Amino acid sequence: MTWTQRLRNWISKGALFLAVPGAAYLATSRPRLSYLVPLSGLILVSVFTVTRWIIDPILFLLMNLGLVALHLGSLAHASRAANRNLVDARIGLLALTFLVCMHIAIVVIGHTNKAALFGFQLYHIPSPSMQPTLLPGDIILVDTWVKQNQLEDEQIVVFKRHSKGVVLVKRVASLRGQSEAREMYLLGDNPSRSMDSRRFGWVSSEYLIGRVTAVLFTIKRENYSINDYPSEALQ
């Protein structure tokens, strides 16, 4: 094998190990450790979910940094113990295939069901209807496990007007009804640019999606046109 072939082989393996957390252990004498990496990540996310640390913006970012550290730490640990050729081992290829499928399943199921499984959701603010509190372009963190009886006036919530309606974000101006059958009167912080309960009336709390806990990312824009934001529907 020439040095160029060795270089390409090293680069391809490095890219694979970097792209698939835990895959580097498949090139060691302890390949079963490869499956502990995604499982450890799930345990970390589960702890943050159960404790509800996941809806705190600082702790949410720390959790993601922890997942990155887990991946890089396992990669560094495995690289020191690498002692066999992954691509020449049939069992290694099968193990790699299973590991990749495991990661895909975790990512797809976790991403599409994070509101139900982990109790949070991220939304992009498309319009100035909640300005100055929420700006166009903001990414907000939403607690989707909030209960109807935990709603209070002045909270900012994400909701639908009806079961098939678009997703909106407004501030709770008033509440009425019992804890299990409450209605919300919702207003935008920017009245001249907001479609809210002044037009569509009270909204049943059964269409509540969650409570906004933080702005994770913001882009301040001084000048904009209303034509830049034709819809208030969250993304």
Q: Give, in degrees to the nearest 5, the angle at Cα 101 between 96 and 106.
A: 125
What is the number of other CB atoms lying within 10 angstroms of the CB of residue 229? 16
Per-residue model confidence as pLDDT tens digits over 90-104: 666 788 888 889 999
User: Is the model's pLDDT at 233 over the cut of 90?
Assistant: no
Kindly list the structural domains of the chain, giving each domain's residue range(s) and its CATH number in brackets, ordered by start.
3-115 (no CATH), 120-228 (2.10.109.10)
Does residue 225 contact residue 115 with C-beta atoms inside 8 Å? no
pLDDT of residue 146: 92
Per-residue model confidence as pLDDT tens digits over 15-35: 778 888 988 888 787 888 889
User: Is the model's pLDDT at 119 over the cut of 90?
Assistant: yes
Cβ density class 184-204: b for 16+ within 10 Å, e for less:
bbbbbbbeeebebbeeeeebb
Q: What is the mean pLDDT of the chain?
A: 84
pLDDT band at 148 (very low <50, low <70, confident <90, very high): confident
Spatial separation of the C-alpha atoms in residues 63 and 54, rounded to whole Å: 8
